[in-house]
Structure 1
Amino acid sequence: MPNTILSPAYRFRRIDATRNMARFYMLSLEPTLFGEVAVLRHWGRIGTSGRQALSLHATLAEAEAMFARQVARRRRRGYVEA
Protein backbone atom coordinates (compact mmCIF):
# COMPACT_ATOMS: atom_id res chain seq x y z
CA MET A 1 0.00 0.00 0.00
CA PRO A 2 1.56 3.36 -0.97
CA ASN A 3 1.97 6.02 1.66
CA THR A 4 -0.85 8.32 0.53
CA ILE A 5 -4.11 9.52 2.00
CA LEU A 6 -6.77 6.93 1.25
CA SER A 7 -9.79 9.24 1.30
CA PRO A 8 -10.48 12.95 1.43
CA ALA A 9 -10.20 14.43 4.89
CA TYR A 10 -13.34 15.78 6.50
CA ARG A 11 -13.21 19.09 8.33
CA PHE A 12 -16.13 20.06 10.53
CA ARG A 13 -16.99 23.11 12.60
CA ARG A 14 -19.59 23.76 15.24
CA ILE A 15 -20.05 27.37 16.29
CA ASP A 16 -22.75 28.56 18.71
CA ALA A 17 -22.09 32.04 20.09
CA THR A 18 -24.93 31.77 22.65
CA ARG A 19 -23.16 28.80 24.29
CA ASN A 20 -19.62 30.16 23.73
CA MET A 21 -18.93 27.12 21.54
CA ALA A 22 -16.38 27.16 18.72
CA ARG A 23 -15.18 23.64 17.94
CA PHE A 24 -13.44 21.85 15.08
CA TYR A 25 -13.22 18.16 14.20
CA MET A 26 -11.08 16.58 11.46
CA LEU A 27 -11.05 12.99 10.19
CA SER A 28 -8.79 11.22 7.72
CA LEU A 29 -7.83 7.68 6.67
CA GLU A 30 -4.12 7.02 6.32
CA PRO A 31 -2.00 3.93 5.69
CA THR A 32 0.58 2.75 8.22
CA LEU A 33 4.01 1.30 7.53
CA PHE A 34 2.78 -2.16 8.53
CA GLY A 35 -0.12 -2.46 6.08
CA GLU A 36 -2.86 -1.37 8.47
CA VAL A 37 -5.19 1.56 7.97
CA ALA A 38 -5.38 4.31 10.58
CA VAL A 39 -8.36 6.55 11.28
CA LEU A 40 -6.90 9.85 12.47
CA ARG A 41 -9.19 12.12 14.51
CA HIS A 42 -8.24 15.64 15.55
CA TRP A 43 -10.59 17.87 17.56
CA GLY A 44 -10.73 20.83 19.90
CA ARG A 45 -11.65 24.45 20.32
CA ILE A 46 -11.01 26.64 17.29
CA GLY A 47 -7.76 28.53 17.84
CA THR A 48 -6.12 25.80 19.93
CA SER A 49 -3.96 22.85 18.95
CA GLY A 50 -6.65 20.44 20.17
CA ARG A 51 -6.27 16.71 20.76
CA GLN A 52 -5.63 13.74 18.50
CA ALA A 53 -6.54 10.07 18.51
CA LEU A 54 -5.49 7.31 16.17
CA SER A 55 -7.25 3.97 15.78
CA LEU A 56 -5.67 1.15 13.78
CA HIS A 57 -7.65 -1.29 11.64
CA ALA A 58 -6.51 -4.43 9.88
CA THR A 59 -8.54 -3.79 6.71
CA LEU A 60 -9.64 -0.80 4.71
CA ALA A 61 -13.29 -1.91 5.04
CA GLU A 62 -13.11 -1.80 8.86
CA ALA A 63 -11.48 1.62 8.79
CA GLU A 64 -14.03 3.00 6.32
CA ALA A 65 -16.91 1.72 8.48
CA MET A 66 -15.52 3.49 11.55
CA PHE A 67 -14.82 6.60 9.47
CA ALA A 68 -18.44 6.66 8.22
CA ARG A 69 -19.79 6.24 11.78
CA GLN A 70 -17.68 9.18 12.97
CA VAL A 71 -18.83 11.41 10.09
CA ALA A 72 -22.49 10.55 10.79
CA ARG A 73 -22.00 11.18 14.51
CA ARG A 74 -20.52 14.65 13.94
CA ARG A 75 -23.41 15.61 11.64
CA ARG A 76 -25.99 14.41 14.21
CA ARG A 77 -24.30 16.58 16.83
CA GLY A 78 -24.63 19.73 14.73
CA TYR A 79 -21.21 19.94 13.07
CA VAL A 80 -21.13 21.28 9.51
CA GLU A 81 -18.39 20.81 6.92
CA ALA A 82 -15.92 23.67 6.83
Structure 2
Amino acid sequence: MVAQRYRLYIERMDASRNMARFYALSIEGTMFGQTCLVRRWGRIGTTGRMVQHSFDDEGEAVGLFLELLRAKRRRGYRPKFGARHAETAPSA
Protein backbone atom coordinates (compact mmCIF):
# COMPACT_ATOMS: atom_id res chain seq x y z
CA MET A 1 0.00 0.00 0.00
CA VAL A 2 1.21 3.51 -0.82
CA ALA A 3 1.89 5.51 2.33
CA GLN A 4 1.51 8.91 0.66
CA ARG A 5 -0.05 10.02 -2.63
CA TYR A 6 2.35 11.47 -5.17
CA ARG A 7 0.80 13.32 -8.11
CA LEU A 8 2.31 15.88 -10.43
CA TYR A 9 1.16 17.71 -13.56
CA ILE A 10 3.60 20.02 -15.38
CA GLU A 11 3.59 21.76 -18.75
CA ARG A 12 6.06 23.20 -21.20
CA MET A 13 4.84 25.85 -23.63
CA ASP A 14 6.71 27.82 -26.29
CA ALA A 15 4.51 29.61 -28.84
CA SER A 16 7.46 30.45 -31.09
CA ARG A 17 8.12 26.70 -31.54
CA ASN A 18 4.42 25.68 -31.53
CA MET A 19 5.15 23.63 -28.41
CA ALA A 20 2.44 22.78 -25.87
CA ARG A 21 3.38 19.66 -23.92
CA PHE A 22 2.28 18.10 -20.65
CA TYR A 23 3.88 15.54 -18.35
CA ALA A 24 2.06 13.81 -15.50
CA LEU A 25 3.40 11.47 -12.81
CA SER A 26 1.60 9.58 -10.08
CA ILE A 27 2.45 6.80 -7.64
CA GLU A 28 -0.35 4.37 -6.90
CA GLY A 29 -0.84 1.00 -5.30
CA THR A 30 -1.79 -2.00 -7.42
CA MET A 31 -4.31 -4.66 -6.46
CA PHE A 32 -1.38 -7.07 -6.08
CA GLY A 33 0.26 -5.01 -3.32
CA GLN A 34 2.95 -3.47 -5.49
CA THR A 35 3.71 0.20 -6.01
CA CYS A 36 3.21 1.56 -9.52
CA LEU A 37 4.66 4.75 -11.02
CA VAL A 38 2.42 5.96 -13.86
CA ARG A 39 3.89 8.38 -16.42
CA ARG A 40 1.73 10.24 -18.97
CA TRP A 41 2.95 12.75 -21.54
CA GLY A 42 1.99 14.33 -24.84
CA ARG A 43 0.62 17.42 -26.49
CA ILE A 44 -1.81 19.43 -24.35
CA GLY A 45 -5.37 18.58 -25.35
CA THR A 46 -4.56 14.97 -26.36
CA THR A 47 -4.64 11.72 -24.44
CA GLY A 48 -0.90 11.31 -24.96
CA ARG A 49 1.09 8.23 -24.10
CA MET A 50 1.31 6.25 -20.87
CA VAL A 51 3.90 3.95 -19.27
CA GLN A 52 3.65 2.13 -15.95
CA HIS A 53 6.59 0.98 -13.82
CA SER A 54 5.98 -1.55 -11.03
CA PHE A 55 8.11 -1.72 -7.87
CA ASP A 56 8.10 -3.92 -4.78
CA ASP A 57 9.38 -0.99 -2.70
CA GLU A 58 7.70 2.44 -2.54
CA GLY A 59 11.09 4.09 -2.01
CA GLU A 60 12.27 2.97 -5.46
CA ALA A 61 9.15 4.46 -7.05
CA VAL A 62 9.67 7.75 -5.20
CA GLY A 63 13.32 7.81 -6.33
CA LEU A 64 12.35 7.44 -9.98
CA PHE A 65 9.55 10.01 -9.51
CA LEU A 66 12.05 12.59 -8.21
CA GLU A 67 14.63 11.76 -10.88
CA LEU A 68 12.08 12.26 -13.66
CA LEU A 69 10.86 15.49 -12.06
CA ARG A 70 14.41 16.91 -11.96
CA ALA A 71 14.98 15.98 -15.61
CA LYS A 72 11.73 17.63 -16.73
CA ARG A 73 12.42 20.78 -14.70
CA ARG A 74 15.82 21.08 -16.41
CA ARG A 75 14.03 20.90 -19.78
CA GLY A 76 11.70 23.78 -18.90
CA TYR A 77 8.54 22.07 -17.59
CA ARG A 78 6.71 24.09 -14.93
CA PRO A 79 3.55 23.57 -12.82
CA LYS A 80 0.31 24.93 -14.24
CA PHE A 81 -1.15 27.23 -11.59
CA GLY A 82 -4.84 28.10 -11.40
CA ALA A 83 -6.01 25.05 -13.35
CA ARG A 84 -7.47 21.81 -12.04
CA HIS A 85 -6.54 18.58 -13.74
CA ALA A 86 -7.50 15.02 -12.89
CA GLU A 87 -3.83 14.36 -12.10
CA THR A 88 -3.62 17.15 -9.53
CA ALA A 89 -7.09 16.93 -8.00
CA PRO A 90 -7.02 15.95 -4.32
CA SER A 91 -8.28 12.48 -3.67
CA ALA A 92 -10.99 11.61 -1.18
Is 2:64 the partner of 1:66?
yes
For the residues of structure 2 that align with 1:59 and 1:35, how far apart are their CA atoms?
10
Runs (4+) off by over 4 Å: none
Q: Aligned residues, how many?
A: 80
Identity %: 43
Partner residue in 2 for 1:80: 78
TM-align CA RMSD:
1.4
Contact 1:36-1:58 at 8 Å conserved across structures? yes
One-letter amino acid of the counterpart of residue 29, structure 2: P
Counterpart residue type for residue 10 of structure 1: L
Q: Which residue of 2 aligns with 1:52?
A: 50
C-alpha contact 1:6 1:30 (8 A) present in aligned 2: no
**In the TM superposition, what are the counterparts of 1:3-82 in structure 2 within 5 Å?**
6-82=4-80
Instruction: Describe the SS at the equivalent of 2:6.
Output: coil
Deviation at 1:5, TM superposition (A): 8.3
Shift of the 21–60 alpha-carbon distance from structure 1 to 2, 3 Å rule, reads: same
CA deviation after TM superposition for structure 1 residue 7, in Å: 2.0
TM-score (norm 1): 0.90
Cα deviation, residue 47, structure 1? 1.1
User: 5+ residue gaps in structure 1?
Assistant: none
**Which one-letter code corresponds to 1:37 in the other structure?**
T
Q: Which structure 2 residue ranges, 5 or more long, are not aligned?
A: 81-92
